[in-house]
Structure 1
Amino acid sequence: MTEWITTPVEPGMLRGAVEVERTDRGVLPHRLPAWARRQFPDAGLAAMEARGSGVRLCLRTRATVIELEALPTKTVYRGGPPPKDGVYDLVVDGVTCGRGGIAGGNVVTVDLDPQSSDTTPGQPGAVRFSGLSGEEKDVEIWLPHREVTELIALRADAPVRPAPDHGRRVWLHHGSSISQGSNAERPTEIWPVVAASRAGVELVNLGFGGNALLDPFTARTMRDTPADLISVKIGINLTNTDLMRLRAFTPAVHGFLDTIREGHPDTPLLVVSPLLCPIQEDTPGPVTLDPESATPRFRAIGDPADTAAGRLTLTVIRDELARLVERRAAEDPHLHHLDGRALYGESDHAELPLPDALHPDTAAHRRIGERFATAVFGGPFAARDGRTRNTPQA
């Protein structure tokens, strides 16, 4: 019979979270701080920032069996299929070696027209990983990237403690649902995690589905978050929400970068323009679900002629970001630009098309992450000194 040692989940065990909220049951990781969460009324962003993309438990232990008790909150769309259980990935000494899920939990049902939702409460469950070696080892449990996870307790057959800080550089990234993980099946298969794993860096992923919108509170969060490397992927959500025009876009990007630079004046900072997305290359948003498609598929419904009046397309955004970064870089030698089509372009789309016309699948995520690691961590983010942490300047 296994003799369990129960350990509460403590904030010090978590990496990839900006803030950890204590709840009646345990702890809830957040990717935006409480002050920022008070500055937006959008329930969609509230759900996205609480999803555990890039968040992981990092432990040191000799345990051969580890069980995590948690309460998941899953999202389903009215009339759609029931939600899949989120995936928890187990990584031992840097090698992914297990996966599991927790059935049940809370279910949020969303109506798109009109936009509303209701929650059906559920019960906590547990995911168990067994057959581990009895040697001292680093154990990571990566949380599901598509659901909210309230962490309650760890049970193991040996003591567990927070893993030590190995002094890796911290990469802070912000982007859209593609950065959050979109259609990737597992949390270690989303492109930022693939890139971070290949580069040997610690990831803080501020990828928010539908909400990479140049929000000032996101820029201030990035300003205040310790990081050695920073990237921002800008564009796709601004077109598919049809949020602003070119007149507002350019100063908003400047303001976003200015705010980050207040806390990180010399940190390598990369601006990434959108990946290829044919439905929005030359057609403005908004984007809606295609009612004529048998499977979920998006389409852009704006008028391409409106680009003359400042409506945004991905082509317009790429051109403007390239121009803007080139001008700023004349006075900011640590600012860099990457055309997103170098990560996913026309030939990639021919081979690995976007299943819903908007989001890459697991294979495309892997390719994007590998290319980012080669192009960026082998280029502007290449290690050049012995610093392990860049603390924001007051």
Structure 2
Amino acid sequence: MPSNPKRIDVIRLDSNMSIKKIDHDSLQWLSPSAAPFHIAGFAWFDKERKYRRLPSSPALPLPTAVDELANCTAGGQIRFRTNSSRLSLKVKLRGPSDMYHMPATGQSGIDCYLGDPGNQHYLSTTRFDPACTEYEAEMYNWGEKREFAVTLNFPLYQGVEEVWIGVDPDATIGAAPSYASDKPIVIYGTSITQGGCATRPGMAYPNILSRSIPMEFINLGFSGNGKGEPEVARTIAEIANPAMLILDYEANSGTIEEISTTLPQFIHLYRERHPDVPIVVISKIQYSGDRYYEKMQSLHEGRKKVQEETVERLRREGDANIHFVDGSNLLGEDAEECTVDGVHPTDLGFIRMAKSLEPIIRELL
């Protein structure tokens, strides 16, 4: 074997994988923070003008990890309509792409869907050097004027400092199509909720649901830190006029005793502000290790029992708008084939989760 084997330069060998330069000087660059662009998925954006999932100065101090992870832009979307023949982006990130089990396109990329709510179709994802914290990327170039409603999904596991939209100098920019409802669906949870480990942002299960159920979805998944703290519950309860709250945080909830405390408390604090909003409690998806590690399976079964019994008790006490979903069935029979590492879903896993949850959400709405 040679002592210094030659590096395989796939990008040089396959031009289809190259990072293409854009003619940015021929475009007009617009900030999506101003009308008629619509920023979705950031409940405090109108007040703070930041691409951030929780308030910068909350009424109660947030756990340090949650406060930091709130800067990850999972679930954020830029929505608008344009007849531009070209669409490009300039993006400034908080850091490089550095996750070993998640593609840079999912961690730090932006993907593009075209079409009105309920009829959106994927087109493209940004191409960029994962070591860089700033990039420019072309999303499409038709060569002629064609009008579409555009949805751009923000990165899942990185923060975005700035983003600029490049279009033809004479392009028209119009307001995004209306949602089916002006009430958002709020999902609180873990790394799986946040989108680990989708290959691109649009494949996180809350984003998939946002295409099949044409409403705003607010992704409040906090990787490794969906622990159900009361200060987080109170902050989430500040989101006005929600259509539904989904609690999907068992995987980070700790011991059986801990979730026995945090879950009823979280629901109680949320009910103080939203007494009638539907709440859906989802137990953890099936992990590959559940089959082989007895303690892991026992912990899951115990925490699932707490969630189910908590919901049943609250329903007996008169809360008809709280529901339990057994998450161990969401991935299907061959669940172990739907993850990257035995825990975090692939795109296939997220598609199965979304398809399993969609009829439940629709019925409750």
TM class by shorter chain equals: 0.7 to 0.9
Between the aligned partners of 1:163 and 1:199, the Cα distance in structure 2 is 16
Question: Equivalent residues in 2 for 1:291-306 (5 A)?
Answer: none
Structure with the bigger percentage of helix: 2
Give, in angstroms, the shift of residue 236 of structure 1.
0.6
- Partners of 1:15 and 1:56 within 8 A in 2: yes
Give, in angstroms, the shift of residue 167 of structure 1.
4.2
Between the aligned partners of 2:220 and 2:46, the Cα distance in structure 1 is 17
Residue 250 of structure 2 aligns to which amino acid in structure 1? G
- Partners of 2:103 and 2:199 within 8 A in 1: no
Equivalence for 2:141? 131
Equivalence for 1:276? 286
Q: 2:104 aligns with which of 61, 80, 84?
A: 84
Equivalence for 1:50? 71
Equivalence for 2:357? 372
Give, in angstroms, the shift of residue 366 of structure 1.
0.7
Between the aligned partners of 1:367 and 1:321, the Cα distance in structure 2 is 22
Equivalence for 1:7? 30
- Partners of 1:198 and 1:370 within 8 A in 2: no
Residue 254 of structure 1 aligns to which amino acid in structure 2? P
Between the aligned partners of 1:151 and 1:165, the Cα distance in structure 2 is 25
Q: 1:215 to 1:104 in 2, by over 3 A?
A: farther
> Does 2:300 correspond to 1:314?
yes
Structure with the bigger percentage of strand: 1
Give, in angstroms, the shift of residue 233 of structure 1.
0.9
1:291-310 C-alpha deviation (Å, 9 max, x unpaired): xxxxxxxxx7xxx9xx8xxx
Give, in angstroms, the shift of residue 66 of structure 1.
1.9
Q: 2:197 aligns with which of 183, 190, 196?
A: 183
User: What residue ranges of structure 2 are gaps of 5+ in the alignment?
Assistant: 1-22
Give, in angstroms, the shift of residue 136 of structure 1.
3.9
Give, in angstroms, the shift of residue 348 of structure 1.
2.8
Between the aligned partners of 1:41 and 1:256, the Cα distance in structure 2 is 15
Between the aligned partners of 1:377 and 1:324, the Cα distance in structure 2 is 20
In percent, how many aligned pairs have the same letter? 19
Q: 2:250 aligns with which of 235, 245, 253?
A: 235
1:284-323 C-alpha deviation (Å, 9 max, x unpaired): 5xxxxxxxxxxxxxxx7xxx9xx8xxxxx11110011111
Equivalence for 1:146? 157
- Partners of 2:54 and 2:67 within 8 A in 1: no
Give, in angstroms, the shift of residue 357 of structure 1.
1.9
Q: Secondary structure at the match of 2:364?
A: coil
Q: 1:257 to 1:38 in 2, by over 3 A?
A: closer
Give, in angstroms, the shift of residue 283 of structure 1.
5.2
Q: Secondary structure at the match of 1:29?
A: coil
Q: Secondary structure at the match of 1:139?
A: strand
Between the aligned partners of 1:277 and 1:379, the Cα distance in structure 2 is 27
Q: Secondary structure at the match of 2:51?
A: strand
Give, in angstroms, the shift of residue 204 of structure 1.
0.9
Between the aligned partners of 1:22 and 1:264, the Cα distance in structure 2 is 21
Q: Secondary structure at the match of 2:155?
A: coil
Number of equivalences = 327
Q: 1:148 to 1:131 in 2, by over 3 A?
A: same
Q: Secondary structure at the match of 2:185?
A: strand
Give, in angstroms, the shift of residue 217 of structure 1.
2.7
- Partners of 2:101 and 2:197 within 8 A in 1: no
User: What residue ranges of structure 1 are gaps of 5+ in the alignment?
Assistant: 108-121, 240-244, 285-299, 308-312, 382-394
> Does 2:188 correspond to 1:174?
yes
Q: 1:40 to 1:222 in 2, by over 3 A?
A: closer
1:247-287 C-alpha deviation (Å, 9 max, x unpaired): 44323211100111122111111111111124358655xxx
- RMSD (CA atoms): 3.0
Equivalence for 2:42? 17
- Partners of 1:53 and 1:181 within 8 A in 2: yes
1:331-361 C-alpha deviation (Å, 9 max, x unpaired): 101111111113135x2325x2533122111
Between the aligned partners of 2:321 and 2:287, the Cα distance in structure 1 is 29
Equivalence for 2:126? 101
| TM-score, structure 1 as length reference | 0.74
- Partners of 2:259 and 2:306 within 8 A in 1: no
Q: 1:167 to 1:198 in 2, by over 3 A?
A: closer
Equivalence for 1:61? 82
> Does 2:221 correspond to 1:207?
yes
Equivalence for 2:329? 342
Q: Secondary structure at the match of 2:320?
A: coil
Between the aligned partners of 1:3 and 1:11, the Cα distance in structure 2 is 22
